[in-house]
């Protein structure tokens, strides 16, 4: 494995120092929560090695919404990030090939690169409303293809790929005898759409990944999971987890259980906040002459771009935004795209922060032209 630090991590708000940022429009989660607000008593948690797959009650809660999945189809991991690492390093080696969409969450491209396997990157196009073309993926499949890798709801566009498309990809994976990763880390941020079942329900060739980071505002407890109905593969995934960390933090698991157990009261509040912010964001966007977007459907991010007729000084734009306005968004290069694209997160900021952050962005775009 050859590891490379990614720009999205080097320039992330936590690495830049939260104290230096006032208007944080770069996050892809809802606002981080405080432990004190959960009213949870952790005094009786025994600090032993936890169950290697993840504490049973947590796995039960994760699969609760499904009539098909069992707790044994769930492996708790240290955030979705580790689920993705476990999955990639188990399924792929340097003589294999995968098909992966881009833009994407960086790890979904970078870990296969670290493994040094061959990749066909399918670039989603703004002009095509960031839709996935199944035929393009089909054409990219090779005899040594082991994995098709997508993210849904999609980061950074906020696009939701419908069930029909997911079914087609499942069928393609089955025909091609490879696996389908559906990174569903944003699934509970369906603030205006129905929640689809986990894709892993559809076939034992599918691996779904998710976590409490984005929708519960709890990335600091590092709890995620992968779901797969293939028992042999789950055995191998567990072997990988045991070699990485044995088990999760039992404290983190207890907090994650509390969050998921109470999701029916917690999530609607987050969704309400997102809807309020999004309503303002849409209004603001409608007044922007320099920007264009594919309107997001779920999640808390979107990926607009500066219209082709405008030629901003891109370095100046992002530098001024940060250094003079203490405001950040996610520049395109975080996603291996030109910096005329930017990811804007509208779920993390408080309402007033979003308003000011957006008007700061508008001013900086004007200054950079």
Ligand X SMILES: Cc1ncc(COP(=O)(O)O)c(C=O)c1O
Applying CB under 6 A, the residues found at the interface with ligand X are 28, 79-81, 105, 151, 155, 183, 185, 211, 213, 219, 224
Tokens standing for 361?
Answer: 């962005």
CB of 107 to ligand X, least distance (A): 7
DSSP for 148-212, written as a single string? EEEESS-TTT-----HHHHHHHHHHHHHTT-EEEEE-TTTT--SSSPPPPPGGGS-TTEEEEEES
Q: Which is nearer to ligand X, 224 or 296 (CB)?
A: 224
Strands 23-24 and 327-328, sheet pairing: parallel
CB atoms within 10 A of CB 283: 10
The DSSP symbol for 31 reads P
The answer to whether the bond into 301 is cis (omega within 30° of 0) is no
Rounded (5°) CA angle 298-303-304: 120
CA distance 225 to 185: 9
Q: Pick the closer one to ligand X by CB: 90 or 185.
A: 185
Q: How many CA atoms lie within 13 A of 212 on its CB side?
A: 29
Q: How far is the CB of 255 from ligand X (least distance, A)?
A: 14
Shortest distance (Å) from residue 311 CB to ligand X: 30
Could you tell me the strand order of the sheet in which 342-345 lies? 301-302, 342-345, 330-331
The least CB distance from residue 211 to ligand X, in Å, is: 3
Nearer to ligand X (CB atom), residue 208 or residue 356: 208
φ, ψ for residue 307, nearest 5 deg: -60, 150
Closer CB to ligand X, 214 or 364, in the complex: 214
Least spacing, CB of residue 227 vs ligand X, in Å: 14
Residue nearest to ligand X (CB): 79
Residue number with CB closer to ligand X (12 or 288): 12
118 beta partners = 97
Q: Which is nearer to ligand X, 10 or 279 (CB)?
A: 10
Q: How many beta carbons lie within 10 A of that of residue 309, not counting itself?
A: 7
Distance from chain centroid for Cα 154 = 7
**Minimum distance of ligand X from residue 18's CB (angstroms):** 16
Closest to ligand X by CB, 217 or 312: 217
Nearer residue to ligand X within complex by CB, 80 or 317: 80
Closest to ligand X by CB, 78 or 176 = 78
Distances (CA, A) of 217 to 26, 31, 173, 354: 14, 5, 33, 17
Shortest CB 46 distance to ligand X, Å = 25
Q: How many CB atoms lie within 10 A of CB 51?
A: 16
Q: Provide, rounded to whole angstroms, the least separation between the CB of residue 265 and ligand X.
A: 22
Distance of CA 344 to the CA centre of its chain: 14
* Least CB distance to ligand X at residue 213 (A): 3
């Amino acid at each position: 494995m050859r590891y490379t630090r990614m720009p999205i991590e080097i320039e992330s708000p936590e690495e830049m120092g939260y104290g230096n940022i006032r208007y944080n429009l770069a996050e892809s989660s809802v606002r981080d929560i405080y432990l004190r607000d959960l009213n949870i008593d952790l005094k009786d948690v025994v600090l032993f090695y936890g169950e290697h797959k993840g504490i049973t009650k947590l796995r039960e809660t994760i699969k609760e919404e499904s009539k098909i999945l069992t707790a044994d189809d769930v492996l708790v991991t240290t955030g979705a990030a580790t689920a993705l690492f476990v999955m990639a390093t188990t399924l792929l080696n340097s003589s294999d090939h995968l098909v992966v969409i881009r833009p994407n969450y960086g790890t979904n491209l970078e870990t296969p690169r670290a493994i040094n396997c061959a990749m066909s990157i399918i670039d989603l196009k703004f002009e095509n409303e960031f839709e996935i073309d199944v035929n393009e993926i089909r054409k990219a499949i090779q005899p040594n293809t082991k994995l098709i890798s997508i993210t849904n709801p999609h980061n950074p566009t906020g696009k939701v790929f419908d069930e029909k498309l997911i079914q087609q990809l499942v069928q393609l994976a089955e025909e091609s005898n490879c696996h389908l990763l559906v990174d569903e880390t944003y699934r509970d941020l369906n603030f205006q759409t129905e929640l689809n079942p986990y894709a892993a329900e559809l076939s034992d060739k599918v691996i779904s990944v998710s976590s409490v980071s984005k929708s519960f505002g709890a990335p600091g407890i590092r709890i995620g999971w992968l779901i797969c109905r293939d028992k042999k593969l789950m055995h191998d995934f567990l072997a990988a987890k045991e070699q990485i960390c044995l088990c999760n933090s039992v404290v983190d698991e207890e907090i994650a259980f509390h969050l998921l157990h109470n999701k029916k009261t917690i999530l609607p509040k987050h969704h309400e906040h997102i809807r309020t912010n999004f309503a303002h964001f849409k209004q603001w966007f409608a007044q922007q002459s320099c920007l264009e977007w594919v309107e997001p459907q779920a999640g808390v991010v979107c990926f607009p771009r500066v219209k082709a007729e405008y030629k901003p000084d891109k370095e100046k734009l992002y530098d001024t935004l940060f250094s003079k306005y203490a405001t950040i968004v996610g520049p395109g290069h975080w996603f291996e795209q030109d910096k005329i694209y930017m990811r804007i997160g509208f779920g993390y900021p408080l309402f007033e922060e979003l308003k000011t952050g957006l008007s700061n962005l508008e001013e900086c775009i004007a200054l950079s032209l």
